[in-house]
Amino acid sequence: MNPNAYWKLSKLDYYCGALAIGAITLWLLTDEPLVAIFFAIAADLLAGLPTLVKAWRHPETETAITFVFGAISALTTFAALKTGHLSEFAFSLYLVLICSSIAYGIYRGKPFFKKIIG
């Protein structure tokens, strides 16, 4: 538990939330797999954008290990690929990128991490 984890919602949170709901609606209405995956990624990205911004601006309010394990979890799905088609790996690739970006945003200011990356 992080005692500094309190956060006040901003306009960005509300805009991203509304756009994410719109993307989910479009995702549910499509019959095309790649289009559905695009809207699923858009919905998740819009919902996660406030966390990404917060991780970079106020890293002390987030715990990075959750996002590190999220990225690792998404990486394991690549072992199950059968065709290598974009529809098979796009969402997992997105998850690796977003989780890694958030974790890096949190860790980049920590002294131990600064020693590792120089």
Q: For residue range 23-56, what is the model confidence (pLDDT) as tens digits?
A: 888 888 887 888 888 888 988 998 899 899 989 9
d(CA 23, CA 16): 10
Spell out the alpha helix ranges (H) of 58-85.
64-76
What's the whole-model pTM score? 0.76
Band (pLDDT 50/70/90 cuts) for residue 5 is low
d(CA 87, CA 62): 31
Tell me what pLDDT residue 26 has.
84
